[in-house]
Amino acid sequence: MKRVLAINTSPNTDGLTATCAQEFLAGAAEAGAETELIHLNQLDIKHCQQCMNGWGICRTEGKCVLVDDFEAVRQKVFAADAWALANPVYFGDLSESAKAFTDRLRRTNIGDADKRLAGKDFVALAAAGGSGGGVSTCLMTLDRLCQHTGQRVADLIGITRRNRAYKLGCIRECGKSVVQQEWE
Ligand SMILES: Cc1cc2nc3c(=O)[nH]c(=O)nc-3n(C[C@H](O)[C@H](O)[C@H](O)COP(=O)(O)O)c2cc1C
């Protein structure tokens, strides 16, 4: 059975971002996957300390020196066949918790020390509940994260108040698709 994970990086557990994460997982469950939703803001994820003059031991050893919940979440990403990061668009960028997590995920999986993200299916969900501006810059940041870590972009989906009615259905289909489709 495939495992599918979604991480909500909004402080709201019942807002637009969390709804997007839930729709993605509902689609995956419908296709037969085992699913899990993590609310990142309920966990202790510290910011990268840029240790060792900036490169850190993470580059060679593939792990972070900080002691918090980061490693446990990273292990869940490794264990998943596909995962989605659901991000509320803040100032056209990632939320602060998403930044903290993805900064360290990139650093610990960029070198030769750890290749466990390589080839993994990734879905970026950027939920802009205000004017709707800034979705594209947010998705570009997540696309770049994939390039650095060798993940496969299954989809990059922008959600606004204007398009949410039909995008939620699209996200659900995306959840199904990451379970059903086999890519070379
Ligand atoms: C600090 C902050 C910055 C925001 N910046 C933007 C923005 O650049 N563009 C936009 O459309 N909405 C913006 N919003 C609105 C959020 O995108 C919206 O509140 C979020 O998608 C709702 O997600 P939630 O219900 O999961 O919290 C901002 C909200 C906050 C709190």
pLDDT digits (tens, 9 = 90+) for 150-175: 999 999 999 999 999 999 999 999 99
- How many folded domains does the chain comprise? 1
Q: Whose CA is nearest to atom 13 of ligand 1?
A: 130
CATH number, domain with residue 157 = 3.40.50.360
Kindly report the pTM of this predicted structure. Answer: 0.97
Question: Residue 48 is part of which domain span?
Answer: 3-180
Chain center to CA of 111: 20
Q: What is the pLDDT of residues 3-48, one digit of tens each?
A: 999 999 999 999 999 999 999 999 999 999 999 999 999 999 999 9
The token pair at 165 is 């009615």
Residue in the structure block whose two tokens are 């309920």: 42
pLDDT band at 184 (very low <50, low <70, confident <90, very high): low
Q: What is the pLDDT of residues 50-67, one digit of tens each?
A: 999 999 999 888 899 999
Q: Which helix (H) or strand (E) holds 8?
A: strand 3-8
Angle between helices 96-108 and 70-79 (to 10 degrees): 70
Best residue among 90, 91, 157, 160 to mutate for probing ligand 1, ranked by most atoms within 8 Å of CB: 90
SS3 23: helix
Best residue among 20, 37, 89 to mutate for probing ligand 1, ranked by most atoms within 8 Å of CB: 89
Q: What is the pLDDT of residues 99-153, one digit of tens each?
A: 999 999 999 998 666 789 999 999 999 999 999 999 999 999 999 999 999 999 9
Q: Whose CA is nearest to atom 12 of ligand 1?
A: 130
Tell me what the mean pLDDT of segment 85-93 comes to: 98
Q: Is 16 in the pocket of ligand 1 (CB under 6 A)?
A: yes
